[in-house]
Amino acid sequence: MASKEDVLTKGFWQSKTMKFNVLTLLVTVVTFLVDNDFFVSNPTAATVAGVVVTVGNIGLRFITSQRVQIGGDKNDGQISATD
């Protein structure tokens, strides 16, 4: 287990998982705005989208090595050791 000095943090905007989830949200909103019945009329597409998002999040979680800092950071989001 890593000691407190070994654990690094980063700003949420530096997180691949957060970027992936924001992209997923944007695609979902655009899909709804263009054709709000898309997933209703294409249940297979809804299932595939759910699986892709789930697998993407699990995969990104496995490669994550740093915690995400939300809120103010004395180093303004720079990667640093925690106090």
Nearest partner of 32 among 46, 22, 20, judged by Cα: 46
Q: Give the rounded distance of the alpha carbon of 17 from its chain centre.
A: 3
Which two structure tokens, joined as six digits, stand for 33? Answer: 């705005």
Report residue 83's pLDDT band, with 50, 70 and 90 as the boundaries: very low
Interval 4-32 mean pLDDT: 80
Question: What local confidence, expressed as pLDDT, does residue 13 receive?
Answer: 76
pTM of the model: 0.62
Q: What share of the chain is helix, strand, coil (3-state, %, to 5)?
A: 55, 10, 35
Report residue 72's pLDDT band, with 50, 70 and 90 as the boundaries: low
